[in-house]
């Protein structure tokens, strides 16, 4: 009978992961065990997340597997590939791998480099993402303004849901990144929002809950109006975005 990963205790999950690492990644130096089970917030569908470190690999990869009835999600790296993906987290403004290493528990036969890597990711996490310049903020505000305009119209329910789904991520990203905060995707977006500003986070969650449950857009529109008030409101009239000069191709189009 398959185990429910979310029901595992932290200690049992670590013991199981040590066996998984020894059997499936025998050449690995060590791994960071992370995720909701390690935080004590696992659900029935939770898997065990780990970042596996080798001394050298041809390339990084992701590996998913059910081991002894429990799903595992392994991100497999050497230090060079790990640092490349950590830098990608910083550029994207979403600290997925950064957080896994920072919060992860090191296991394995050769964990000597684990503490140093955790100190590096802790520094990245505290420092936060790069500040967005005005052009980047304007591009985000322009795209969100278009979605808000569409949402304010009378539309079929399936279109309202599609617009709302795009707006949920875009507006959340704008709120967080315009304030110099890390953003997140999916379930991490409201978590990041509430950690940054509990009042605004609750308003954001309530607004989109009302939109998706009741089809009522007013709270989302009000929330966006409040957010954009400090940035000049909706952006359409007079907006211009230039393509790079090298974005051209001579000759006949393919086809």
- Could you report the average pLDDT of every consecutive run of 10 residues in the chain (255 residues)? 64 94 97 88 84 98 94 96 98 96 96 96 96 96 97 93 96 97 93 94 96 95 95 94 92 67
The two most distant CA atoms of the chain are separated, in Å, by: 64
In whole angstroms, what is the distance from residue 199 CA to residue 205 CA?
Answer: 10
Fold of 5-127: Beta Polymerase; domain 2 (3.30.460)
In whole angstroms, what is the distance from residue 144 CA to residue 232 CA?
Answer: 13
Sequence-distant contacts of 33-37: CB under 8 A, at least 24 apart? 33/104, 33/105, 33/106, 33/107, 34/99, 34/100, 34/101, 34/103, 34/104, 34/105, 35/73, 35/100, 36/6, 37/5, 37/6, 37/8, 37/10, 37/13
pLDDT for position 1:
40
**Nearest CA among 126, 88, 79, 121 for reference residue 103:** 121
DSSP 185: S
Phi and psi angles of residue 87, each rounded to the nearest 5 degrees, phi first: -65, -35
Q: Report yes or no: 138 and 235 within 8 Å, Cβ to Cβ.
A: yes
Please report which helix (H) or strand (E) contains residue 24, including its range.
helix 10-24
Verdict on whether the full-model pTM lies above 0.75: yes
């Amino acid at each position: 009978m398959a185990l429910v990963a979310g029901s595992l205790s932290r200690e049992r999950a670590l013991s199981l992961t040590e066996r998984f690492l020894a059997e499936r990644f025998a050449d690995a130096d060590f791994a960071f065990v992370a995720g909701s089970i390690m935080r004590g917030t696992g659900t029935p569908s939770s898997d065990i997340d780990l970042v596996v470190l080798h001394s050298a690999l041809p390339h990084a990869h992701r590996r998913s597997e059910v081991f002894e009835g429990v799903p595992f999600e392994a991100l497999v790296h050497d230090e060079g590939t790990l640092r490349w993906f950590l830098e990608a987290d910083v550029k994207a403004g979403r600290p997925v791998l950064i957080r896994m290493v920072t919060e992860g528990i090191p296991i394995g036969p050769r964990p000597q480099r684990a503490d140093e890597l955790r100190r590096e990711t802790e520094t990245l996490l505290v420092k936060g993402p790069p500040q967005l310049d005005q052009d980047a903020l304007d591009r985000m505000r322009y795209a969100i303004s278009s979605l808000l305009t569409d949402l304010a119209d009378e539309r079929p329910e399936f279109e309202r849901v599609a617009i709302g789904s795009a707006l949920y991520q875009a507006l959340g990203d704008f709120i967080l990144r315009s304030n110099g905060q890390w953003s997140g995707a999916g379930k991490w977006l409201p978590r990041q929002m509430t950690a940054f500003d509990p009042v605004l986070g609750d308003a954001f969650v309530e607004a989109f809950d009302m939109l998706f449950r009741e089809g009522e857009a007013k709270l989302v529109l009000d929330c966006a109006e409040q957010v954009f008030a400090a940035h000049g409101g909706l952006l359409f009239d007079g907006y211009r975005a230039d393509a790079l000069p090298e974005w051209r191709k001579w000759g006949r189009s393919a086809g």
